[in-house]
C-alpha cells in the first residue's frame, strides 16, 4: 500500500489493518504544510526549515511504526517572487539533512517531478532536474520517485527515460496512471504493457504504485470494478 498522508490516524490503527489484510506499507508523504490552504511541501521554502524538520521527524515516527521503507518529501511551490535557482540552496540543505535523518532510521527518501498542469509552480517538473539534485545532495538513500503519468505530460519518450534512469540506479519507486485523465492505466495514450518490459530488462526490483483516479470511483463498487485491468498481470 501507498497513500498520501497517514497523520489523521493512529499508527496502531493503520498497522492493525495492514496486518489483518496481509499488506505492507511501502510509501507515504511527509507532512506538506497546510494542504487545505494549497501548500504542496515545505522543502524548498526559506524560513520554514523548523516546520519542515518537525514534519520529517513526525513522518519517520510513522515510518518506524508501520515498517515503511521509503518516504516522499514534497518540494513545495515556487513563490511568486522567487525562482528555482533562488530556492535551490535551501532545498538542497533540507534534502541533505532529511536524508541523514532517514538513513539513521533505515528509510529511503524520495523526490518526485510533478507536471505543472496538475500542480502549477511546483518546484520539480523534469526527471533530469530531480536526478541532478540527487547527485548534488550525494546521499545514498536519496532517490527519485518516477511517476510515468507526470513524465509523459512533461517530457514524453517514456520508455527511453525509463531505461536511462533505471540504469543510473537512482529510481526508488515508480507510479502509473492513464494519460491524460489520470484514470486506470489501461486507458489513455500510454502503452503500459510495453513500458513494463524495461522494468524486467533492467532488473527493477521496486514497487509500481497505481496512483490514479478511478473513472467510476464515485459509483458503488466503482474502484473495484476498475481493477479489472490488473487481472491479466496477476495471472502472469
Tell me, yes or no, if 112 is annotated catalytic.
yes
Q: Tell me the C-alpha to C-alpha distance, in Å, between residue 197 and each of 126, 194, 202.
A: 22, 6, 9
Q: Name the catalytic one among 2, 108, 184, 211.
A: 211
79-114 core/surface letters (b: 16 or more CB in 10 A; e: else) = eeeeeeeebeebbeebbebbbebbeeeebbbbbbbb
Q: Tell me the C-alpha to C-alpha distance, in Å, between residue 110 and each of 22, 118, 215, 220.
A: 25, 20, 28, 34
Please say whether the dihedral angle defined by the alpha carbons of residues 41, 46, 48 and 53, taken in this order, is positive or negative. Answer: positive
Q: Name the catalytic one among 49, 112, 189, 219.
A: 112
Tell me, yes or no, if 136 is annotated catalytic.
no
Strand-pairing partners, residue 111, are 144
Helix (H, G, I), strand (E, B) or coil at 46: coil
- Residues 43 and 32 sit within 8 Å (Cβ to Cβ): no
Q: Which of 31, 27, 29 is nearest to 45 (CA)?
A: 31
195-209 core/surface letters (b: 16 or more CB in 10 A; e: else) = bbebbeeeeeebbbb
Active-site amino acid positions: 112, 211
Amino acid at each position: 500500500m501507498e497513500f498520501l498522508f497517514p497523520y489523521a490516524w493512529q499508527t496502531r490503527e493503520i498497522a492493525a489493518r495492514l496486518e489483518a489484510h496481509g499488506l505492507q506499507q511501502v510509501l507515504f508523504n511527509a507532512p506538506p504544510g497546510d494542504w487545505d490552504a494549497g501548500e504542496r511541501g515545505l522543502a524548498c521554502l526559506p524560513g520554514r526549515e523548523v516546520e519542515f524538520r518537525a514534519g520529517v521527524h513526525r513522518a519517520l515516527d510513522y515510518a518506524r511504526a508501520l515498517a515503511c521503507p521509503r518516504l516522499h518529501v514534497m518540494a513545495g511551490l515556487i513563490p511568486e517572487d522567487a525562482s528555482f535557482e533562488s530556492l535551490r540552496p535551501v532545498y538542497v540543505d533540507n534534502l541533505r539533512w532529511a536524508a541523514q535523518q532517514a538513513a539513521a532510521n533505515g528509510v529511503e527518501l524520495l523526490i518526485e517531478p510533478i507536471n505543472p498542469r496538475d500542480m502549477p509552480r511546483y518546484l520539480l517538473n523534469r526527471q533530469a532536474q530531480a536526478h541532478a539534485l540527487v547527485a548534488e545532495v550525494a546521499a545514498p538513500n536519496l532517490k527519485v520517485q518516477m511517476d510515468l503519468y507526470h513524465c509523459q505530460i512533461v517530457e514524453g519518450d517514456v520508455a527511453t527515460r525509463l531505461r536511462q534512469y533505471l540504469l543510473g540506479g537512482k529510481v526508488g519507486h515508480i507510479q502509473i496512471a492513464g494519460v491524460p485523465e489520470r484514470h486506470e492505466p489501461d486507458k489513455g495514450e500510454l502503452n503500459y504493457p510495453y513500458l513494463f518490459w524495461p522494468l524486467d530488462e533492467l532488473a527493477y526490483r521496486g514497487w509500481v504504485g497505481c496512483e490514479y483516479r478511478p473513472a467510476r470511483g464515485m459509483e458503488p463498487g466503482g474502484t473495484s470494478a476498475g481493477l479489472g485491468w490488473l487481472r491479466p498481470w496477476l495471472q502472469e
